Amino acid sequence: MEQEKQIKIVEVSPRDGLQNEKEILPPEKKKELIESLCETGVDEIEVGSFVSPKAVPQMKDTDNLLLMINKKNGVKFSVLIPNMKGFERMMNIPESKRPEKIAVFTAASDTFNLKNINATVEDSFKIIKPVIEEAKKLKFEVRAYISTAFWCPFEGKVKPEKVIYVAEKLFELGVDEVSVGDTIGRASPKDVSELLSLLLKKISRDKIALHFHNTYGMAVLNSFISFRDFGIRTFDSSAGGLGGCPFAPGASGNVATEDLIFMFENSGVKTGVDFKKVMSAVLKLEIPLRSSLSKIQKIIE
Ligand code: HMG
Ligand code: MG
């Protein structure tokens, strides 16, 4: 019998990975990426976002893309939604092509949130409340992101108390899961331990995902610590280490899915994901990869 997976991977390359790429990719390329990612063993794929096309032009064709993709292997799809307008755009897609899950987003720092979505953290709760209510009524699963959960590019170190406040508020609003984001990839293992040891006193670890970016090369280590020391089992990652938020200066790519899988599998943690298939899926985009594994010519089995 196949050993049970110990880790759930939420593959965010089609959204977080591509949103920062200047060159707009044709939907056919994105379709190819997503369909190939469906073959890798990842549990979920965030396929795109319904944000303002003026803010993030790369994501303007998410509706078309969803119509084109042939979903495979029971992989769950999600999309990032900022407001009711985004939710309505998603609902215009025929039901059979809609994702099962949506993700709303806010942050733990006002300055970043204002740059990202033109709203303070408190105002963002008012904006996403109806989205969460509608989505739950229609039986969508709902994730919420908390950006700048460790460091803000404008305000510096963010206090864990603020993150806990935002997380509790999001669960009160009805979300199923919160993804805690190191938006600028600045968190150290100490920052991660400090936040998780406080956050998990209030919220079950099964409702928390971690979303690391890799600016300072800490993302794989932070993921390992979150799993080993705190029992976190859901991790967001991006094939090839692509990614970044256009509104967070200095932020680089997400933790690379292949690096994360290589680390977990070689530490005896079952992921169910084939890292070589992940790499070949993203290589087809012909965008330079940023993962550690992509720099190795021959991988020792
Ligand atoms: P705003 O300007 O305050 O919005 O932007 P508004 O409601 O005043 O509307 C202004 C215009 O945008 C109007 O059009 C609206 O119709 C339109 P106009 O009348 O000028 O022609 N509009 C929309 N169009 C399409 N879809 C929509 C939509 N909403 C309004 N949904 C808004 C507010 C949130 C829309 C904007 O700031 C925005 O789209 N921001 C997106 C930011 C973004 O995508 N950031 C990256 C994702 S977050 C991230 O990467 C972090 C994460 O990975 C976790 C981590 O790493 O920390 C998740
Ligand atoms: Mg991100």
- Residues 85-123 pLDDT 10s: 999 999 999 999 999 999 999 999 999 999 999 999 999
Q: Check if 195 has its Cβ closer than 6 Å to any atom of ligand 1.
A: no
In ligand 1, the atom with minimum distance to the C-alpha of 83 is 31
Q: Token digits for 80?
A: 């990032």
Q: How far apart are CA 122 and CA 102, in angstroms?
A: 21
Residues lining ligand 2 (ion), CB within 5 A?
A: 16
Amino acid in position 254: N
pLDDT computed for residue 297 by the predictor:
74
Whether the CB-CB separation of 2 and 266 falls below 8 Å is answered with no
Q: How far is the CA of 79 from the centre of ligand 1 (A)?
A: 14
Rg of the chain taking only CA atoms, in angstroms:
18
Residue nearest ligand 1's atom 36 by CA: 117
Q: Token digits for 104?
A: 């709303």
Q: Token digits for 49?
A: 């976002």
pLDDT computed for residue 195 by the predictor:
99
Total structural domains within the chain: 1
- Residues 251-300 pLDDT 10s: 889 999 999 999 999 999 999 999 999 999 999 999 999 999 999 877 76
Which residues carry out catalysis?
A: 245
pLDDT computed for residue 301 by the predictor:
58
Torsion of CA 149, 155, 159, 162, to 10 degrees: -70
Q: What is the mean pLDDT of residues 74-89?
A: 98
Residue nearest ligand 1's atom 10 by CA: 52
Q: What CATH number is given to the structural domain containing 89?
A: 3.20.20.70
Domain of residue 137: give its range.
Answer: 2-300
Q: Check if 181 has its Cβ closer than 6 Å to any atom of ligand 1.
A: yes
Q: What is the mean pLDDT of residues 142-167?
A: 98
- For residue 67, pLDDT over 90 is answered with yes
Ligand nearest to the CA of 63: 1
- Residues 2-33 pLDDT 10s: 679 999 999 999 999 999 999 999 999 999 99
